Amino acid sequence: MASWFGRRGPRRETPRLRARGARRSVTRVEFTDLHPDPDSYLGRAARIQLGHVETLGALVARFERFDDKERLSTAAGFALSKHQAVVAEIERRDGDPAEAMAAVAPSIDHFRSITQGNSPTEALLSFHVTSGFLDDLFIGLAASLPPDLGPRIGGLLGAEAGTAGIVDILEREISVDRRTASFLAMWGRRLVGDTLLLAREVVDGGGHEHGDDVEPVFTELIAAHTRRMDALGLTA
Protein backbone atom coordinates (compact mmCIF):
# COMPACT_ATOMS: atom_id res chain seq x y z
CA MET A 1 0.00 0.00 0.00
CA ALA A 2 1.31 3.43 -0.96
CA SER A 3 2.42 5.54 1.97
CA TRP A 4 0.12 8.54 2.29
CA PHE A 5 2.77 11.11 2.86
CA GLY A 6 5.51 9.10 1.23
CA ARG A 7 6.84 11.74 -1.14
CA ARG A 8 9.30 13.84 0.77
CA GLY A 9 10.65 17.22 -0.14
CA PRO A 10 14.11 18.25 1.13
CA ARG A 11 12.27 20.31 3.75
CA ARG A 12 11.51 17.13 5.63
CA GLU A 13 15.12 15.94 6.05
CA THR A 14 15.09 17.42 9.54
CA PRO A 15 11.94 16.55 11.46
CA ARG A 16 10.35 19.72 12.85
CA LEU A 17 9.41 18.57 16.29
CA ARG A 18 9.17 20.85 19.24
CA ALA A 19 9.72 19.62 22.76
CA ARG A 20 6.65 20.48 24.79
CA GLY A 21 8.47 21.32 28.03
CA ALA A 22 11.53 19.98 29.85
CA ARG A 23 9.53 17.81 32.22
CA ARG A 24 8.26 15.57 29.44
CA SER A 25 10.27 12.49 28.56
CA VAL A 26 8.24 11.97 25.36
CA THR A 27 8.01 14.54 22.62
CA ARG A 28 4.33 15.40 22.25
CA VAL A 29 3.26 15.97 18.68
CA GLU A 30 0.54 18.46 17.96
CA PHE A 31 -1.29 19.09 14.73
CA THR A 32 1.15 21.81 13.75
CA ASP A 33 4.08 19.41 14.14
CA LEU A 34 3.02 16.87 11.57
CA HIS A 35 4.01 18.55 8.30
CA PRO A 36 2.33 16.34 5.73
CA ASP A 37 3.81 16.24 2.27
CA PRO A 38 1.61 18.72 0.38
CA ASP A 39 1.24 16.61 -2.76
CA SER A 40 0.17 13.48 -0.92
CA TYR A 41 -2.05 15.51 1.36
CA LEU A 42 -3.83 17.07 -1.60
CA GLY A 43 -4.20 13.74 -3.42
CA ARG A 44 -5.76 12.18 -0.35
CA ALA A 45 -7.99 15.17 0.37
CA ALA A 46 -9.23 15.18 -3.25
CA ARG A 47 -9.91 11.44 -3.17
CA ILE A 48 -11.66 11.61 0.18
CA GLN A 49 -13.97 14.42 -0.91
CA LEU A 50 -14.75 12.55 -4.13
CA GLY A 51 -15.49 9.52 -1.95
CA HIS A 52 -17.94 11.69 0.00
CA VAL A 53 -19.65 12.53 -3.31
CA GLU A 54 -19.85 8.84 -4.19
CA THR A 55 -21.25 7.80 -0.82
CA LEU A 56 -23.81 10.59 -0.61
CA GLY A 57 -24.72 10.26 -4.28
CA ALA A 58 -25.51 6.57 -3.83
CA LEU A 59 -27.57 7.34 -0.71
CA VAL A 60 -29.85 9.82 -2.52
CA ALA A 61 -31.71 6.94 -4.19
CA ARG A 62 -31.75 4.80 -1.02
CA PHE A 63 -33.68 7.23 1.17
CA GLU A 64 -37.36 7.43 0.26
CA ARG A 65 -38.31 10.91 1.45
CA PHE A 66 -37.89 13.75 -1.01
CA ASP A 67 -36.51 16.07 1.65
CA ASP A 68 -33.91 13.44 2.57
CA LYS A 69 -32.93 13.10 -1.08
CA GLU A 70 -32.47 16.84 -1.26
CA ARG A 71 -30.44 17.01 1.96
CA LEU A 72 -28.16 14.22 0.77
CA SER A 73 -27.67 15.64 -2.70
CA THR A 74 -27.02 19.08 -1.27
CA ALA A 75 -24.30 17.59 0.95
CA ALA A 76 -22.92 15.75 -2.10
CA GLY A 77 -22.77 19.11 -3.88
CA PHE A 78 -20.71 20.64 -1.06
CA ALA A 79 -18.28 17.69 -1.20
CA LEU A 80 -18.03 18.05 -4.98
CA SER A 81 -17.15 21.73 -4.58
CA LYS A 82 -14.42 20.82 -2.09
CA HIS A 83 -13.11 18.08 -4.35
CA GLN A 84 -12.97 20.50 -7.27
CA ALA A 85 -11.23 23.13 -5.16
CA VAL A 86 -8.58 20.63 -4.05
CA VAL A 87 -8.14 19.47 -7.65
CA ALA A 88 -7.59 23.12 -8.61
CA GLU A 89 -4.85 23.33 -5.94
CA ILE A 90 -3.16 20.23 -7.35
CA GLU A 91 -3.24 21.75 -10.83
CA ARG A 92 -1.92 25.06 -9.50
CA ARG A 93 1.10 23.09 -8.25
CA ASP A 94 1.46 21.51 -11.73
CA GLY A 95 0.34 18.15 -10.37
CA ASP A 96 -1.87 15.64 -12.14
CA PRO A 97 -5.03 15.23 -10.02
CA ALA A 98 -5.83 11.75 -11.40
CA GLU A 99 -2.30 10.54 -10.63
CA ALA A 100 -2.35 12.13 -7.20
CA MET A 101 -5.64 10.42 -6.36
CA ALA A 102 -4.69 7.08 -7.91
CA ALA A 103 -1.57 6.93 -5.74
CA VAL A 104 -3.69 7.04 -2.58
CA ALA A 105 -6.79 5.24 -3.85
CA PRO A 106 -6.10 1.69 -2.58
CA SER A 107 -6.08 2.48 1.13
CA ILE A 108 -9.05 4.84 0.84
CA ASP A 109 -11.03 2.39 -1.29
CA HIS A 110 -10.34 -0.37 1.24
CA PHE A 111 -11.43 1.88 4.08
CA ARG A 112 -14.61 2.83 2.22
CA SER A 113 -15.45 -0.79 1.52
CA ILE A 114 -15.14 -1.93 5.16
CA THR A 115 -17.07 1.03 6.56
CA GLN A 116 -19.99 1.21 4.14
CA GLY A 117 -22.68 -0.46 6.28
CA ASN A 118 -25.77 -2.34 5.18
CA SER A 119 -28.94 -0.33 5.70
CA PRO A 120 -29.20 3.25 4.45
CA THR A 121 -29.15 4.48 8.06
CA GLU A 122 -25.99 2.51 8.87
CA ALA A 123 -24.41 3.85 5.70
CA LEU A 124 -25.35 7.41 6.57
CA LEU A 125 -24.11 7.12 10.16
CA SER A 126 -20.90 5.73 8.74
CA PHE A 127 -20.59 8.69 6.43
CA HIS A 128 -21.29 11.14 9.24
CA VAL A 129 -18.83 9.54 11.67
CA THR A 130 -15.98 8.77 9.29
CA SER A 131 -16.21 11.93 7.21
CA GLY A 132 -16.41 14.00 10.39
CA PHE A 133 -13.29 12.34 11.76
CA LEU A 134 -11.29 12.50 8.53
CA ASP A 135 -12.35 16.05 7.72
CA ASP A 136 -11.27 17.11 11.23
CA LEU A 137 -7.93 15.37 10.68
CA PHE A 138 -7.30 17.02 7.33
CA ILE A 139 -8.40 20.45 8.53
CA GLY A 140 -6.07 20.02 11.50
CA LEU A 141 -3.19 18.89 9.29
CA ALA A 142 -3.70 21.91 7.02
CA ALA A 143 -2.25 24.03 9.84
CA SER A 144 1.17 22.47 9.21
CA LEU A 145 1.12 22.82 5.42
CA PRO A 146 3.19 25.63 3.89
CA PRO A 147 1.67 29.07 4.52
CA ASP A 148 0.88 29.62 0.83
CA LEU A 149 -1.32 26.52 0.90
CA GLY A 150 -2.44 25.54 4.41
CA PRO A 151 -4.83 28.36 5.33
CA ARG A 152 -6.57 28.19 1.96
CA ILE A 153 -6.98 24.40 2.13
CA GLY A 154 -8.04 24.47 5.77
CA GLY A 155 -10.62 27.10 4.93
CA LEU A 156 -12.07 25.29 1.98
CA LEU A 157 -12.20 21.90 3.71
CA GLY A 158 -13.83 23.54 6.72
CA ALA A 159 -16.58 25.15 4.63
CA GLU A 160 -20.25 24.13 4.78
CA ALA A 161 -20.72 20.36 4.39
CA GLY A 162 -24.49 19.98 4.79
CA THR A 163 -23.97 18.25 8.15
CA ALA A 164 -27.09 19.70 9.78
CA GLY A 165 -29.33 18.01 7.20
CA ILE A 166 -27.57 14.69 7.73
CA VAL A 167 -27.94 14.99 11.50
CA ASP A 168 -31.67 15.69 11.02
CA ILE A 169 -32.09 12.43 9.11
CA LEU A 170 -30.08 10.42 11.64
CA GLU A 171 -31.95 11.88 14.62
CA ARG A 172 -35.27 10.98 13.02
CA GLU A 173 -34.19 7.42 12.23
CA ILE A 174 -32.75 6.90 15.71
CA SER A 175 -35.91 8.23 17.39
CA VAL A 176 -38.04 5.67 15.53
CA ASP A 177 -36.57 2.60 17.13
CA ARG A 178 -34.37 2.17 20.17
CA ARG A 179 -33.01 -1.11 18.84
CA THR A 180 -31.76 0.85 15.86
CA ALA A 181 -30.09 3.30 18.27
CA SER A 182 -28.43 0.49 20.17
CA PHE A 183 -27.16 -1.14 17.00
CA LEU A 184 -25.97 2.18 15.62
CA ALA A 185 -24.06 2.94 18.82
CA MET A 186 -22.20 -0.35 18.39
CA TRP A 187 -21.68 0.37 14.70
CA GLY A 188 -20.28 3.79 15.59
CA ARG A 189 -17.71 2.22 17.92
CA ARG A 190 -16.65 -0.19 15.20
CA LEU A 191 -16.32 2.73 12.74
CA VAL A 192 -14.12 4.81 14.95
CA GLY A 193 -11.73 1.85 15.23
CA ASP A 194 -11.41 1.55 11.46
CA THR A 195 -11.12 5.30 11.05
CA LEU A 196 -8.37 5.50 13.66
CA LEU A 197 -6.36 2.94 11.70
CA LEU A 198 -6.60 5.08 8.59
CA ALA A 199 -5.83 8.26 10.52
CA ARG A 200 -2.82 6.55 12.10
CA GLU A 201 -1.59 5.65 8.65
CA VAL A 202 -1.89 9.30 7.59
CA VAL A 203 -0.10 10.60 10.64
CA ASP A 204 2.61 7.91 10.64
CA GLY A 205 3.64 9.07 7.18
CA GLY A 206 3.87 12.66 8.36
CA GLY A 207 7.60 13.03 8.79
CA HIS A 208 7.93 12.91 12.57
CA GLU A 209 10.19 10.39 14.29
CA HIS A 210 8.97 6.92 15.13
CA GLY A 211 7.99 6.62 18.75
CA ASP A 212 6.80 10.21 19.04
CA ASP A 213 3.66 10.57 21.05
CA VAL A 214 1.01 11.57 18.58
CA GLU A 215 -1.77 10.79 21.05
CA PRO A 216 -2.82 14.43 21.56
CA VAL A 217 -3.85 14.55 17.92
CA PHE A 218 -6.00 11.46 18.35
CA THR A 219 -7.34 12.59 21.70
CA GLU A 220 -8.66 15.71 20.03
CA LEU A 221 -10.16 13.79 17.10
CA ILE A 222 -11.78 11.23 19.39
CA ALA A 223 -13.25 13.97 21.59
CA ALA A 224 -14.86 15.47 18.48
CA HIS A 225 -16.13 12.02 17.52
CA THR A 226 -17.64 11.56 20.99
CA ARG A 227 -19.41 14.93 20.73
CA ARG A 228 -20.76 13.87 17.33
CA MET A 229 -22.15 10.60 18.75
CA ASP A 230 -23.51 12.35 21.88
CA ALA A 231 -25.38 14.84 19.73
CA LEU A 232 -27.23 11.88 18.21
CA GLY A 233 -27.92 10.35 21.62
CA LEU A 234 -25.56 7.45 20.83
CA THR A 235 -23.00 6.13 23.30
CA ALA A 236 -19.58 6.61 21.79
Q: Which chain residues interact with a copy of itself by CB under 8 A?
A: 47, 50, 53-61, 65-67, 69-70, 73-74, 76-77, 80, 83-84, 87, 97-98, 101-102
Q: Which CB atom, from 58 or from 139, has the smaller least distance to a copy of itself?
A: 58
Nearest to 28 by CA among 38, 40, 18: 18
Cβ of residue 47: shortest distance to a copy of itself, in angstroms? Answer: 8
Q: Which CB atom, from 26 or from 61, has the smaller least distance to a copy of itself?
A: 61
Cβ of residue 77: shortest distance to a copy of itself, in angstroms? Answer: 5
Q: Which CB atom, from 105 or from 232, has the smaller least distance to a copy of itself?
A: 105
DSSP 146-211: -TTTHHHHHHHHTS---HHHHHHHHHHHHHH-HHHHHHHHHHHHHHHHHHHHHHHHHHHTSSPPTT
Backbone angles phi, psi at 204, to 5 degrees: -65, -20
Tell me if 33 sits within 8 A of 208, measured CB to CB. yes
Cβ of residue 80: shortest distance to a copy of itself, in angstroms? Answer: 5
Cβ of residue 50: shortest distance to a copy of itself, in angstroms? Answer: 6
Q: Which CB atom, from 11 or from 92, has the smaller least distance to a copy of itself?
A: 92
Alpha helix locations (H) across the chain?
Answer: 38-62, 66-92, 97-114, 120-142, 150-157, 163-176, 178-204, 215-231
